[in-house]
Amino acid sequence: MIFVTVGSSMSFDRLVCALDEWAGLHGRTDVFAQIGQSDYRPKYIRAVQFMDPSEFRERVRLSSLVVAHAGMGSIITALELGKHIVVMPRREHLGETRSDHQVATAKHFEQLPNIVVAYDESELASKIDQAEKLPLANQGPPSASPRLISAVHDFISNTPACPAEF
């Protein structure tokens, strides 16, 4: 099963639509998505708006691949459970977020072996195909590895603070 998540705070119709089209073209019926407050209604994938944290974790655990926005919760959970993850960052200029922090996150973590980055929907299909051909990931320890914790700490420490315009 492929599990798709856009996070809990906002919709990401561009990702959901691209994944839905990919599933339809490939005849995939094993895609389940958490789509937030999306205006787009998928035709080929099963979807819910929201799920509780335990259901989210169980969906990741059961998946063969995770496709997500470049949110830290999605990335860390996929890595912790030894899953490959394809991330597509939200973009500020498209009104999907208030800054391009997800682009910075994707660039920072794309060198890790279980992360594949699609910077836009035109890359998404080929990146999913690439990720599905990767060798099975090893399940990580029940907590994040020291390398991951260090990478997240360094990234957060070197990222300018967000403006207080929330």
pLDDT tens digits for the chain (166 residues)? 999 999 877 788 999 999 999 999 999 999 999 999 888 999 999 999 999 999 999 999 999 999 998 888 899 899 899 999 999 998 777 766 677 778 788 888 888 888 999 999 999 999 999 999 888 655 554 555 667 666 766 666 665 554 444 2
State both tokens at 43.
Answer: 């035709």
Q: What is the dihedral of CA 70, 75, 78, 80, to 10 degrees?
A: 180
Q: What is the dihedral of CA 134, 22, 40, 68, to 10 degrees?
A: 10
| Cβ partners under 8 Å of residue 67, min gap 6 | 2, 3, 4, 5, 15, 19, 85, 86, 87, 88, 124, 128
Q: Where are the domains of the chain?
A: 2-157
- Helix residue spans in the chain (DSSP H): 13-26, 53-62, 72-80, 101-109, 121-132, 146-157
**Measured distance CA(154)–CA(147) in Å, rounded:** 10
Predicted structure pTM score = 0.80
Q: Are 77 and 144 a contacting pair, CB within 8 Å?
A: no
Domain 2-157 has CATH 3.40.50.300: no
